[in-house]
Amino acid sequence: MFKGPVESKNEAAMSELVPEPRQKPVVPMKPTGINTNLLGYIGIDTIIEQMRKKTMKTGFDFNIMVVGQSGLGKSTLVNTLFKSQVSRKSSSWNREEKIPKTVEIKAIGHVIEEGGVKMKLTVIDTPGFGDQINNENCLRPLDLEFMKHLSKVVNIIPVIAKADTMTLEEKTEFKQRVRKELEVNGIEFYPQKEFDEDLEDKTENDKIRESMPFAVVGSDKEYQVNGKRVLGRKTPWGIIEVENLTHCEFALLRDFVIRTHLQDLKEVTHNIHYETYRAKRLNDNGGLPPMTVETEENHESNL
């Protein structure tokens, strides 16, 4: 079971240059031998303010896809991450009706705003993936196979859902098993070691990689705990607080995906995954642009 944030590009961008696949993201070269002070202030530093102004006006995009069998807690987790109803809840299913469903992929767009910054969030829900296979609580070969393919086109962030349903020992054991399976099967997940830019990146990312997959709890219900409203799950033995690090690792996941790595997730998707995909499509096509596919989105934009 896993969830993977995804950034995808649909536009058929063309260029004569076919980039080498899977290269490091382009980083600006360090200036050498130019003393700008000598010539007086130019104003290069204003670029940051210009970027800020533009982003404040237009907002920024973020696409996230959640994958896993239905009932796993995917919609709840995305709602918990963005503290709003950004993903639909699974329709109530009953055991009698467990007919294998067609994998239906649905993208739902939202604009959420915080501190004047607009985020155009697209949640791609894949309800029912893996429903046909009934093998509770283990990393199924289907997941591994799927992840192998997916890791070549998007950033994968494996997550253990409903961590409150496991004992501490089970959680530790499951975490180790998932990590081992990923390693044995050569599945690379985000943040990929090969894209660490420097020692600072490496130190920070090593810490994250070591604690993955995050074992999380999701909820869209609020409770009063010590005079504070918190998101949590009420159980007969107390309230499991979603953002309390002694209860689960949701806060680690949230900080990582939203507060520290959101921009990098987008950059790796754009510079590595999308460029690799584009190069492949160009090569497959003998340099011709990919055929345009009629999608729901195209229809909508044509209205």
Structure tokens at 11: 């536009």
Note whether 72 binds ligand GDP by CB under 6 A: yes
Residues 55-74 contacting Mg ion, CB under 5 A? 74
Nearer to Mg ion, 106 or 193 (CB): 106
What track of x and - describes contact with ligand GDP for positions 217 through 246 (by CB under 6 A)? Answer: xx--------------x-------------
Question: Nearest distance from residue 101's CB to Mg ion, in Å?
Answer: 12
CA dist 129 → 66, 70, 143, 159 (Å): 10, 7, 9, 15
Residues 134-173 contacting ligand GDP, CB under 6 A? 161-162, 164-165
How many residues at the interface with ligand GDP, by CB under 6 A?
A: 16
Note whether 261 binds ligand GDP by CB under 6 A: no
- How many angstroms separate the CA atoms of 211 and 189, rounded? 13
Max CA pair span of the chain? 78
Nearer to ligand GDP, 101 or 270 (CB): 101
Note whether 126 binds ligand GDP by CB under 6 A: no
Count of CB atoms within 10 A of residue 1's CB?
Answer: 23
CB 275 within 8 A of CB 21: yes
Nearer to ligand GDP, 129 or 256 (CB): 129
Nearest to 25 by CA among 47, 5, 10, 7: 7
Nearest to 208 by CA among 186, 184, 192: 192
**Quick one: what does residue 205 bind among Mg ion, ligand GDP, none, with the CB cut-off 5 to 8 Å set by partner type?**
none
CA dist 66 → 73, 96, 235, 276, 289 (Å): 10, 25, 26, 22, 30
Structure tokens at 110: 């939202």
Count of CB atoms within 10 A of residue 156's CB?
Answer: 26
H-helix or E-strand containing 301?
A: helix 296-302
User: β-strand 159-160 against 214-215: which pairing, if any?
Assistant: parallel
Place of tokens 């399976």: 181
Question: Nearest distance from residue 118's CB to ligand GDP, in Å?
Answer: 26
Question: Nearest distance from residue 212's CB to ligand GDP, in Å?
Answer: 17
Note whether 75 binds ligand GDP by CB under 6 A: yes
What track of x and - describes contact with ligand GDP for positions 179 through 218 (by CB under 6 A)? Answer: --------------------------------------xx
Nearer to ligand GDP, 13 or 225 (CB): 225
Note whether 90 binds Mg ion by CB under 5 A: yes
- Which spans of this chain sit near ligand GDP (rule: CB under 6 A)? 70-76, 89-90, 161-162, 164-165, 217-218, 233
- Which spans of this chain sit near Mg ion (rule: CB under 5 A)? 74-75, 90
